[in-house]
Amino acid sequence: MTQAITQAIIDWQSKKVGAQEHFYLVIYDHLRRLASKNRQRVVERFGEEAIQEHVNSTTSLVHELYIKLSQNQEFYNNRSEFFFMVSRTIHNILVDQARKNSAEKRSAELIGIDETEDSPQPEHVDDEFLALSESIERLTEDYPRQAKVIQLKYFGGLLAKEIADMLSVSLSSVEKDISFARAWLKVRLTA
């Protein structure tokens, strides 16, 4: 599968006839698994209310990802760069949804609509998700490799061994990066 994905990326970037369709066929199941894991992780942490409307299913998340991929004109030198971009894109889709939900709540509060009667939502669900996103951005500024490892693991759905191979570092380095980044994020989010 790894070789097929790499070859599909190369063919797509070299604009071979039918390469985009082949690329989507090769990558679709993998993207669906990634989207499902990410969606489930957000639901477990922040509740079903954190994911609404157009990102309310794995399929719609994958379709949104496809749209973003087709609009993206970047070239990827390898599978690692591609999956890092995919993990960032999934993360950004979920963050955009949280921002939209948060803005809608503030707008409803300003005009005096009480949505809690119709749809009970935990307070600050979207704010927590946005705080996590901001913390990941800060981690990226301060510790870029550890941030990349966390994004590949949690938003890219990759195993530590796969990340180690992609980044050309040892498995123990990746495991240490994951531990460090999780602890760093926990401290930042509980402060």
Is it the case that residue 122 has pLDDT exceeding 60?
no
Is it the case that residue 163 has pLDDT exceeding 80?
yes
Question: For the chain, how many residues are written?
Answer: 191
- Pairwise CA distance, residues 128 & 149, whole Å: 21
Distances (CA, A) of 40 to 51, 62, 100, 134: 10, 14, 19, 20
- Pairwise CA distance, residues 60 & 83, whole Å: 19
Distances (CA, A) of 2 to 143, 149, 162, 176: 28, 19, 10, 25
Q: What global pTM score does this model have?
A: 0.61
pLDDT of residue 141: 95
Choose the most confident range, by mean pLDDT, from 50-59, 69-78, 92-101, 121-130: 92-101
Instruction: Fill in the DSSP letter of residue 51.
Output: S
Do 172 and 183 contact (CB within 8 A), yes or no?
Answer: no
Listed residue (124, 31, 39) closest to 70, CA to CA: 31
pLDDT of residue 80: 74
pLDDT in tens, 135-153: 999 999 999 999 999 988 8
- Pairwise CA distance, residues 176 & 146, whole Å: 9
Is it the case that residue 73 has pLDDT exceeding 80?
no
Do 154 and 182 contact (CB within 8 A), yes or no?
Answer: no
Domain boundaries, the chain: 2-190
